[in-house]
Amino acid sequence: MVKKNDNRDFSQIPRVVIKRLFKYHSALENLLSKGTVKVSSKSLSADVHVKASQLRKDLAYCGEFGTRGKGYDVKYLNGKLAEILGLHTEWNYILAGFGHVGHAFVCYEGIFRKGFNVKGIFDIDEKKIGQVFRGIEICDISKMPEIVREHNVQIGVITVPFDSGQSVCDKMIEAGITAILNFAPVLLKPKKSIFIERIDISRELVTLSHYLSHHKE
């Protein structure tokens, strides 16, 4: 089953589309585990609450993966999406700030299952430094460059509180990190152009309070 999927520039796909591609991927994994072989854009899109036309438009960014009149091969499409999403490889990450959030992140099953492996944990707390968690020694941040180099780490996860986020970001970039996931409540200003994704728990909560305040009845 050869498809024209040649020489496409996946780097130009909008972020919104990437996020939906991941939804499709998750839904496909689900179908796969149930042994489903074929799926139509109509049925798959319904699973993730988007319009079928949008699903097809999204896939059009990447190539042609279906057969008209029939639908998509679940396994094939899933594999292709995994490739586009970079889930066909393993990735290494380091984490800075081993508090509650950092701890929860490292323990999060889904992350490990998707091929993201922790290679370094950093904290400023003297009491934590030297402890070993799941085979990883908690280190002082000064060891970051060494660990990043030795383990070929690409991703940095920032789970420090408040303002120390920026200095951690700087150190990560210096160490050679090129993509950051930031849980700290600060807007990072990277010295070099790298990719940053942010998760701000407060922000999501606040959309709830806005809703509750203004949608009475």
Partner DNA sequence: ACGTGATTGTGATAAAATTAACAAGCTATT
Partner DNA sequence: AATAGCTTGTTAATTTTATCACAATCACGT
Q: Which does 60 bind (CB under 5 to 8 A by kind): DNA, its own copies, none?
A: DNA
Q: How far is the CB of 17 from DNA (least distance, A)?
A: 6
CA dihedral 47, 50, 52, 58 (to 10 degrees): -110
Q: Are 184 and 160 in contact (CB under 8 A)?
A: yes
Nearer to DNA, 40 or 117 (CB): 40
Q: Which does 59 bind (CB under 5 to 8 A by kind): DNA, its own copies, none?
A: DNA
Q: How far is the CB of 173 from DNA (least distance, A)?
A: 24
Q: Which residues bind DNA (CB under 7 A)?
A: 14-17, 39-42, 50-54, 56-57, 59-60, 64-72
Q: Which does 46 bind (CB under 5 to 8 A by kind): DNA, its own copies, none?
A: none
Q: How far is the CB of 150 from its own copies (least distance, A)?
A: 18
Cα 31 to the center of its chain, rounded Å: 21
**CA atoms of 138 and 144, how far apart (whole Å):** 11
Q: How far is the CB of 216 from DNA (least distance, A)?
A: 22
SS3 call for 197: strand
Q: Which does 72 bind (CB under 5 to 8 A by kind): DNA, its own copies, none?
A: DNA
Q: Which does 140 bind (CB under 5 to 8 A by kind): its own copies, DNA, none?
A: none
Q: How far is the CB of 205 from DNA (least distance, A)?
A: 20
Q: Can you spell out the DSSP letters for 56-125?
A: HHHHHTT---EETTTEEEHHHHHHHHHHHTT-SS-EEEEEE--SHHHHHHHH-HHHHHTTEEEEEEE-S-
**CA atoms of 96 and 6, how far apart (whole Å):** 39
- CA nearest to 196, candidates 176, 184, 178, 175: 178
Nearer to its own copies, 68 or 176 (CB): 176
Amino acid at 217: E
Q: Which residues bind its own copies (CB under 8 A)?
A: 9-11, 13, 15, 18-19, 22-23, 26, 47-49, 83-87, 89, 91, 99-101, 103-105, 107-111, 114, 116, 154-155, 161, 178-181, 185, 187, 195, 197-199, 201-215
